[in-house]
Structure 1
Amino acid sequence: MRYLENYLERIKRKGNLTLADAISKTVSDVVPQYISNFSFREHVVSLLVGDVQSGKTSHMFGLMCAAADEGFVNFILLTTDNILLQQQTFKRAEADLCDFCICDENDYLKFVQNNMRKPAVIVLKKNGRILKQWKNNLSSTNFVAGNPLFIIDDEADAASLNTKVNKNAQSTINKNLEEIKKTTTSSIYMEVTGTPQSILLQTIRSGWKPYFIYYFRPGKGYLGGNFFFPPEVPPYIVLTDNDEATDILNDEEFPENGLKTALVTHLLTSAHIMLSGGSVCNFLIHPSMKTDQHTGFAEKIGEYLNEIIYSYDEEVTRGYFKSIYDGLKLTKHDMIDFSKAYKYIIDQMKNDKISILVLNSFSSYEENAQYESGINILVGGNSLGRGVTFPQLQTIYYCRVAKSPQADTMWQHARMFGYDRDSELMRVFMPPKLFKLFSDINRTNNIIISQIEKSNNGNDIKIFYSTGLNPTRKNVIDKKAVGIYSGGVNYFPFYPVNKDIVAIDEILAAFADEVYTVSLKLISKVLDLVDSETTDWNAKVFKGFINSMLAENSSEQGKIIVRRDRDISKGTGTLLSPNDRKLGDQYDDEVVLTLYKVTGNKGWDGQKIWIPNIKLPGNRVYYSGNDIPEQDNKLCYDILVNTAKVAESTIPYDHNNK
């Protein structure tokens, strides 16, 4: 049976020709190189990256169908420990993969009775009890050990990684996943996420760094980070007061504020969509992870709706609606007539057709799933992230502020991303400080994607964020192996090495004792020729950061300062003169490379040598997951080669890290 061909044909019958073409491209890029030639004796880790809500599930299913065509028969599809998401994924698998045997968490008997007649897909939450149960289930069958597992870990950066990496221990979920892999002689473990920061910062030794990475671009009509969070505030973002969320819950009156404006925006948007033939319009409120605040905001929305219904025939209320309508019409020029929209809204309210749903850990699956039709207002916290999709989500009120914000967590909260949105009616309400954070995250995401597309092994991807914004949670990053560098700080080797001093002389011959604006590519060429005798300074890491900047802008410029005949002792704790330090500090937003050529008279055995000093752009923190010393890299490689030959190996063999 041609599983991929059948899957694509079903998509085409629904009229999604563009999606079918996109899936075909992903399959043709990945399968011949990484799946068709699978050795059946390795445990390989891979990474599929797609933008948040850009269709990752469709691409996952396409790769699963292609793998089934290659002879894989046992698939495990992992979701986060969220009943809503697990059930959403299970039901979609049943609908889209009708050629497969789709098993829920309690369908062990169904899995066994299928007996590989059809490829089996087991949809599991990443829950310790569930994973342990299925590890035992798989071990007890007589057909799993001899057939490779194809494990698809949706939202792989959530829960799967070892949260005890810095405690010399292994977290429960991470251990259970590793034991599931050991139930068979070989496996492909495909990590899938729209926020790969924590995965990219894993070490080879962890067993969770991907052997290959593939990024697929979103299709036509997708609204994502570049739409909502460019450097300048677009018309689809409505800025609120930074402290409004706290003030709202403490205010017993009903003053005009961002939440009330968002509510009226949602009602008018719903009227336009419903009267234009639509069947659903959703409004999401994400105030906090605290469940008591969810209730508080839901109650406040109820009070606002009551206020409207009691005063809808008053000029003040009608005028308030009209002012917001006029604002929407600035981007939605063919907005439905105001009087018609206003009458529709009031009729819906009188007939109790506006639903307020609180979605959190206290809600049942049945309560959580009532937003597929009608006019809905959704209030919640963590349940609103990580893969849960809300159809026709047009209005968002987001005011969740963390003390130590994490880029990957915040980006997963961006439920406004997707395809089925009317771009001209999109409105996101948030305070300025959150817009700035989201814009910073979007910029770095674009840089990460550019690096992935240029190098599929992911071994040299560098990440940087504004000070105060962390890439991910600290407990999944091996602090001994991940280098963290601060912008605005001068870094230089105590014991520098010149690989080719003549070549350096030639590059710098045109530079006198002045400050020059140069291409970062020239600075990168200089870094190729210098290093350190010890691990105190790594030229490859700094070059990696420069390459990440060039990935964003190939013509990016920096500053170079050249000084000759410096009489400096080897191993000194001070390199830059006060004047040169002050000079470099003037260029806070650029890379500054200062090069001193020493006379060689003080501890250098009479040999002249260039000493590099580099300063990365300030107000940022730079992260490098490639800080393993050379000898450790060699050790890791030797271990991987040897264990790849052993059936119970669980470490991915990275062919590119030779």
Structure 2
Amino acid sequence: MTYFQSYFDRIWSAGNLELATTIRKTVEDVVPKYISNFSFTEHVVSLLVGDIQSGKTSHMFGLMCAAADEGFMNFILLTTDNVLLQKQTLERAKRDLCDFCVCDESDYLKFCSNNLRKPCVIVLKKNSSVLKTWRGNLASTGLCTGNPLFIVDDEADAASLNTLVNKKEQSTINNCLEAIKKTTSSSIYMQVTGTPQSIFLQTKKSGWRPYFVYYFKPGRGYIGGDFFFKDPPPPSVVFTDQEEADSLLEDDEFPENGLKKALITHLITSAQIMLTGGIVCNFLIHPSFQTKEHSLFANKIGNYLNEIYHSHAQPETKEAFKREYQSLSTTKRNILSFEVLYGFIVKLVQEEKVRVLVLNSKVSFEENTDYVHGVNIIVGGNSLSRGVTFPQLQTIYYCRVAKSPQADTMWQHARMFGYDRDPELLRLFLPPNLFKLFSDINRTNNSIIRQIERGDNGSDIKIIYPCGLKPTRGNVLDKKGVSVYSGGVNYFPFYPVNRDLIALDKLLEAFPDGNYSINLKLVNKLLDQVSSETSDDWNVMAFKGFVNTFIAQNPSSQA
């Protein structure tokens, strides 16, 4: 039996039929075209794109098993520089890749003693010390030089790219990864991410622009951006005051506000889930990237819970819960009676079974990661993004926008996406300006996906955002190789070239003087007939690329 068939059968036997089917499709789409035809004499960079928390790891493992069937024996699986995440990935690899020799960062002797008898995967953090050690390990053994290396870089847009590109230097992690590739005569470097903006904006000269790109669709039951960010906003979205974050921290009273409503919603949702057989319900509060605010918000939640503890019998408190119960009743079918839920909530609060956990760089992850059971409220910032999964996350509260928001970073914070949510009980609390930002990002993400599906290996992806929203961090983009165009601005070539005046006149003869709305496909035909003496002056292919992006979104788009 092949490695892939064995992996597929384990997923199928576990009852994950749809997941197994989608993984097989990914393998059948990618392997014959790109891996089976690998020359074993070159270094190829590729990109696997999947939605946030949509099952990318399962697809990664499927492709690794299929690559083993094609003769790849040495694999490296890279994680972000986080001890907990590396350990989680290692344990999952041991569980799911049981036909492989799975090595930890300290398992050099295990790697050598395996001696290519079984495919071997080494799970490493993107940490300079770890990478340098394994670069030396790989170079010192005779197991790598003549054999291809298959590197899977999970969250490849984080830390892997060269952050010193505009200084004509190379960042440490980027240099280490390049050095690891050079320990062997050939390799496939598979970048994996749900936010590929920075990767698509790499130049070919950088060596990190993908040769081929594949997007896999999420399975049935996945809740993503289209669930929340649409027009008009769905009932699952609850708008809060634009300035609520500041007023909350200044006011010591117990006022009506979005945070209080979110807490009450979480308690009602938790009661419904726990009383109907569930084992966990989580509430995520993302107030700011500043760690000092995390403890302030955690204290505020503690005060609210204390107030509920002392005032649960008062009519005002009960009425506040009834309002949120009515709101949830509009979307949740067969919700339990208010009295049953309220009685459970009072008991939860009185027995202090509602846990408030703070997750950030100042707090130990090991001490605050027990959010897989019970009723939990998690407060944090940037530490709540890449690789961190919260089971049964039903209530989410955001209140701040960064001064210079970046689309990929913001989208990585969207922990509300995933499979194990009850869509009828989901609630996202946020101010209108943040909802608009997320909606803009979601719209562009959908455009990127359509371009991947319709284009040629992602070679001409155009990324369009409104003014004030950056696609990614600027230090990984080569300023000389990335062009930025602003909407509402006229761009004229200094050295125009008309390729065929007769053809141009024929295209325009139906339009006498005046203003007209025309299909964007006609705009492309017009652009085919004009150019500039130098692409640095006026790059017609760039403009055509943007036009094609709008066409991908809506084939009947007008100009």
Which TM bucket (shorter chain)?
Answer: over 0.9
Instruction: Measure the CA separation in 2 of the matches of 1:251 and 1:104.
Output: 49
SS in 2 for 1:518: coil
5+ residue gaps, structure 1, are 559-658
Residues 84 and 368, structure 1, Cα contact 8 Å, conserved in 2: no
Distance 1:191 1:231 in 2: 33
Identity in percent: 67
CA contact (8 A) 1:83 1:365 kept: no
For residues 79-104 of structure 1, what are the alpha-carbon distances to aligned partners after superposition, in whole Å with 9 as ceiling and x for unaligned?
Answer: 11122322222221121111112222
Q: Which residue of 1 aligns with 2:441?
A: 441
The one-letter amino acid paired with 1:162 is: N
Larger deviation: 518-527 or 529-538? 529-538
| CA-to-aligned-CA distance 1:388-441 (integer Å, 9 cap, x gap) | 111111000112321100000000000000011100100011111100000000
Q: Which residue of 1 aligns with 2:284?
A: 284
In structure 1, what is the equivalent of residue 227 of structure 2? 227
- Which string of whole-angstrom CA distances, capped at 9 and with x for unpartnered residues, describes residues 51-74 of structure 1? 111111111111011011111111
Tell me whether 526-535 or 243-252 shows the greater mean CA deviation: 243-252
> Which piece of structure 1 moves more, 252-261 or 153-162?
252-261
Matches within 5 A, 1:496-507: 496-507=496-507
**What TM-score, normalized by structure 1, do the two folds share?**
0.84
Q: Any stretches of 5+ residues in structure 2 without a counterpart?
A: none
Code of the aligned partner of 2:549: S
Q: Describe the SS at the equivalent of 2:282.
A: strand
1:600 aligned residue: none
Higher deviation after alignment, 241-250 or 548-557: 241-250
CA RMSD of aligned residues (A): 1.1
Report if aligned partners of 1:82, 1:383 keep a CA contact under 8 Å in 2.
no
Give 1:334's aligned residue: 334
1-structure distance, mates of 2:245, 2:83: 28
> What aligned pairs does 1:162-311 form with structure 2 within 5 A after superposition?
162-311=162-311
Deviates more, 1:112-121 or 1:197-206: 112-121
Residue 368 and residue 76 in structure 1: after superposition, are their counterparts in 2 closer, same or farther (change >3 A)?
farther
- In the other structure, the counterpart of 1:537 is 538
- Aligned twin of 2:548: 547
2:420 aligns with: 420
Bigger mean CA deviation after superposition, 121-130 or 40-49: 121-130
Question: Which residue pairs with 1:93 in the alignment?
Answer: 93
The residue aligned with 1:376 is 376
- The AA in structure 1 aligned to 2:271 is A
SS of residue paired to 1:433: helix
Q: If you compute each CA radius of gyration, which structure gives the higher value, 1 or 2?
A: 1
Q: Secondary structure at the match of 1:46?
A: strand
C-alpha distance in 2 between matches for 1:368 and 1:114: 37
Cα gap change, 1:188/1:409 in structure 2, threshold over 3 Å: closer, same or farther?
Answer: same
Measure, in 2, the Cα distance between the counterparts of 1:248 and 1:510. Answer: 61
Output the CA distance in 1 between the equivalents of 2:379 and 2:93: 27
Shift of 1:200: 0.4
**Greater share of strand:** 1
* CA distance in 2: counterparts of 1:325 and 1:113, whole angstroms: 61
Alignment deviations for residues 198-233 of structure 1 (CA, whole Å, 9 cap, x no partner): 000100000000000000111111110111111332
Conserved? CA contact 2:359–2:365, under 8 Å: no
Query: What's the CA shift for 1:13?
Result: 1.4
Measured in 2, the distance between the counterparts of 1:553 and 1:68 equals 41
Letter in 2 for 1:541: A
| Cross-structure match for 1:646 | none
SS of residue paired to 1:557 = coil
Q: How far apart, CA to CA, are the structure 2 residues paired with 1:41 and 1:77?
A: 21
Contact 1:198 1:471 (C-alpha < 8 Å) held by counterparts = yes
Offset of residue 254 of structure 1: 1.5
Confirm or deny: 8 A CA contact 2:147 2:185 kept in the other structure: yes
Query: Is structure 2 residue 519 aligned with structure 1 residue 519?
Result: yes
Offset of residue 126 of structure 1: 1.0
Alpha carbons of 1:123 and 1:322: their partners in 2 closer, same or farther (altered >3 Å)?
same
- Give 1:48's aligned amino acid: L
| Whole-angstrom distance in 2 between the partners of 1:270 and 1:426 | 11
Does 1:118 pair with 2:118?
A: yes
The answer on whether the counterparts of 1:84 and 1:388 sit within 8 Å (CA) in structure 2 is no
Structure 1 residue identity aligned to 2:224: G
Change (3 A) 1:32 1:114: same
Paired residue total: 558
- 1:544 aligned partner, one-letter code: G
Q: C-alpha separation between the residues in 1 aligned to 2:315 and 2:332?
A: 24
After superposition, what is the alpha-carbon deviation per residue over 1:301-346, rounded to whole angstroms, capped at 9, x for unaligned?
Answer: 1111111111111111111111101001111131111111111112
Query: 1:517 is paired with a residue of what secondary structure?
Result: coil
Amino acid at match of 2:134: W
Question: How far apart, CA to CA, are the structure 2 residues paired with 1:60 and 1:50?
Answer: 10
Q: Shift in Å at residue 251 of structure 1?
A: 1.6
TM-score (norm 2): 0.98
